[in-house]
């Protein structure tokens, strides 16, 4: 059954204009080393799901402004669809660097852009 809820909410606001949505389940390791026999010994700290978002071209000035206000917070709550659990997961995130580029000044439209949301803690 397909998920029918909001794909992504930042600080309680549904995010508009998503073109791509990718989750990278990054594993963070501590004390990793490989012995002479080639075996790895390490302690897994946890899984840190990075959200890689792409926004479609043609978003309006108001839509881009709203997205920027959400992303420019130091830290924020993100509720996102997690295909592993087939449900919504909520965690604290921060946004990586991103660039917005004007596509049509007369109509106030923007080109597509992307941003990564990075988790503060393991999930």
Residue 105 has pLDDT above 90, yes or no: yes
Question: Mean pLDDT for the chain?
Answer: 94
- pLDDT > 90 in the chain, percent: 82
Beta-carbon contacts of residue 10 (< 8 Å; ≥ 6 apart) = 70, 71, 76, 77, 78
Which is more confidently placed, 35 or 19? 19
Q: Kindly list the distances between the CA atom of residue 26 and the CA atoms of 29, 36, 74, in Å, as whole numbers in the listed order.
A: 10, 27, 21
Report pLDDT for 36.
86
DSSP secondary structure code for residue 85 in this structure? T
Q: How crowded is the C-beta side of 45, counted as CA atoms within 13 Å?
A: 11
Count of C-beta atoms within a 10 Å radius of residue 2: 3
- Categorize the per-residue pLDDT at 2 as very low, low, confident or very high, splitting at 50, 70 and 90: low
The total number of residues shown for the chain amounts to 123
């Amino acid at each position: 059954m397909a998920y029918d809820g909001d794909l992504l909410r930042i600080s309680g606001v549904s995010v508009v204009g998503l073109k791509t949505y990718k989750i990278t389940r990054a594993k963070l390791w501590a004390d990793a080393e490989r012995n002479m026999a080639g075996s790895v010994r390490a302690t897994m700290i946890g899984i840190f799901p990075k959200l890689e978002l792409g926004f479609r071209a043609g978003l309006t000035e108001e839509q881009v402004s709203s997205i920027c206000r959400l992303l420019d917070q130091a830290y924020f709550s993100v509720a996102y669809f997690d295909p592993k659990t087939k449900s919504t997961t909520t965690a604290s995130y921060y946004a990586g660097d991103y660039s917005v580029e004007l596509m049509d000044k007369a109509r106030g439209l923007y080109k597509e852009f992307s941003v990564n949301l990075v988790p503060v803690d393991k999930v």
